[in-house]
Structure 1
Amino acid sequence: MTISMYQTAVPVTVRALENLAHVLKKGAEHAAVKSVTDQTLLQTRLIPDMLPLVKQVQIATDMAKNGVARLAGVEPLKFDDTETTLDELQARIARAVEYIQTFTPEQIDGSETRAITMKTRNGELNFEGQSYLLDFVFPNVFFHCTTAYNILRESGAELGKQDFIGKA
Structure 2
Amino acid sequence: MFSYYQLSVPVYTRALTQLSHLLDKAMEFALSKKVSDETMLGLRLAPDMLPFVKQIQIACDTAKFAAARFSDTAAPKHDDNEKTFAELKQRVEQTIAFINSIPEAAFANASQKTIQLSFLPNPMTAEVYLLQFVAPNLYFHISTAYALLRSNGVEIGKADFLGQV
The question of a shared fold, defined as TM-score above 0.5 by the shorter chain, is answered with yes
Q: Does 1:162 align with 2:159?
A: yes
Deviations 1:137-158, CA, capped at 9 Å, x for gaps: 1111100000000001111001
RMSD: 1.1
Aligned to 2:143: 146
Aligned to 1:83: 82
Q: Does 1:57 align with 2:56?
A: yes
Deviations 1:60-109, CA, capped at 9 Å, x for gaps: 00001001100112342221101000000000000000000011111113
Task: Give the structure-2-normalised TM-score.
Answer: 0.96
Cα distance change, pair 19–102 in 1 and its aligned pair in 2 (3 A): same
**1:89 partner letter:** L
Within 5 Å, give how 1:3-18 maps onto structure 2.
3-18=2-17
1:119 alignment partner, SS class: coil
1:47 is displaced (CA, Å) by 1.2
Within 5 Å, give how 1:117-156 maps onto structure 2.
117-120=116-119, 123-156=120-153
Work out the number of aligned pairs and report it. 165
1:125 is displaced (CA, Å) by 4.1
**1:46 partner letter:** L
**2:126 partner letter:** G
4+ residue runs over 3 A deviation: none
2:6 alignment partner, SS class: helix
CA distance in 2, matches of 1:58, 1:124: 23
Aligned to 2:100: 101
CA distance in 1, matches of 2:32, 2:76: 36
**2:161 partner letter:** F
CA contact (8 A) 1:112 1:129 kept: yes
Aligned to 1:42: 41
**1:156 partner letter:** G
Higher strand share: 1
Cα distance change, pair 63–17 in 1 and its aligned pair in 2 (3 A): same
Task: Give the structure-1-normalised TM-score.
Answer: 0.94
Unaligned runs of at least 5 residues, structure 2: none
2:144 alignment partner, SS class: helix
Identity within the alignment, %? 42
CA distance in 1, matches of 2:103, 2:122: 26
Unaligned runs of at least 5 residues, structure 1: none
1:54 is displaced (CA, Å) by 0.3
